[in-house]
Chain A
Amino acid sequence: MKYSIAILSLVAFPALANVQITGSVEAKCVIQTTKAGSYGNPIASKLSTTPADGGVLPIIRYDVSIADAYTANITHPTSFSSSPPLTDTVAWTGSTSVTQTSVSGMSAYEAAKVVVDNTTIFDLTLAGSTWFSTASSAVYGAAKPLPGGTYTAVVQASCIAK
């Protein structure tokens, strides 16, 4: 009886050997927040993410699995999402640049970028990863000192299917 069970189990095992693993590659975009930026306060009236001003540039990474399926639209801030009460206007400037790429051909993204108001649009024509950094600067009206407190602004990073 024991021999029969052993022989049957040996016969049965090969049937389990052919297991298929299937998968598919589809267009997919992943937005990675590599580094949250922070504002430096180089002079009393200014907040800036530029390292020379004591700030930290936010870095966003886009991973796309299929070439030419998405655009990266990155919008730098034009207002604070939270701040102490401000009585004067704030002058905003900003820009977004390619800082690192996983494929050499992606270096062309920087020259081909399109800026519409405060949004920079990159056509992600190659599959792989691209890192972008966004500079943001806010200067309080008529060189007034900014009131003490916490200031927060939002960078909008969008990945839009073409």
Chain B
Amino acid sequence: MLSKVITISALVTFSASAHEMTPAYPEVKVSHVKNVVKVEMSLFNSREEIKYYQIDLFDLNWMNIPFSSTYRIIKIGYKEHKSFDVYIRERDMPEAVYLCTTSKVRKTNQSRTLISSRICSRLDGEPA
């Protein structure tokens, strides 16, 4: 009983500061631009101290791959959902693996560690 109470308390207490991005394995769709595909992503921010997230696209060795999006750095409010599309050239798709969002931390006037969160989805499909 006590452990259940602790677990529930922990969930209630700690759920206030989170970074979430879905889907983990996005579907690659055709776009309105020739030879360019798009993936549709959704971001949720409940980290009160974070207002900006950066989008990055990497290959398997974490080298950057070019892409286009309305926002390279997304401004997103506290407890706000935002959907965004990422456009990738078809010729870059064989190399594109990780699509990530990374929180941008702000400078503080306290001696502390800041936590930058990064969530990466995979564009090369679910593991077999």
Binding site for B on A (CB under 8 A): 26-34, 36-39, 41, 47, 49, 58, 60-61, 63, 66, 68-70, 77, 81-82, 102, 129, 134, 136, 150-162
Contacts and interface: CB of A to CB of B under 8 A. Distances in A.
Nearest to A146: B111
A156 B118 contact: yes
A102 B14 CA distance: 13
B20 A30 contact: yes
Contacts of A37: 112-113
Interface stretch (B28-36, B73-81, B83-91, B101-109): B101-109
B115 A26 contact: no
Given A159-B120, A161-B121, A161-B122, A30 B18 contact: yes
A82 B113 contact: no
A159 B108 CA distance: 25
Nearest to B19: A31
Interface in B1-19: 7, 11, 14-15, 17-19
Interface residues of B, number: 35
18 contacts: A28-B24, A29-B20, A30-B20, A32-B14, A33-B117, A36-B114, A38-B112, A58-B113, A150-B108, A152-B114, A155-B114, A156-B116, A157-B115, A158-B120, A159-B117, A161-B24, A161-B98, A162-B122
Contacts of A41: 111
A102 B17 CA distance: 18
A156 B105 CA distance: 10
Given A36-B113, A82-B107, A154-B105, A27 B23 contact: yes
Contacts of A36: 112-115
A154 B113 contact: yes
A42 B93 CA distance: 51
Tell which of B18, B119, B127 has the most Cβ of chain A within 10 Å.
Answer: B119
Contact of B22 (A28, A102, A157): A28
A43 to B, nearest CB: 15
A144 B100 CA distance: 40
B25 interface: yes
B20 A161 contact: no
Given A26-B24, A28-B24, A82-B107, A157 B117 contact: yes
A154 B115 contact: yes
Contact of B14 (A61, A155, A160): A61
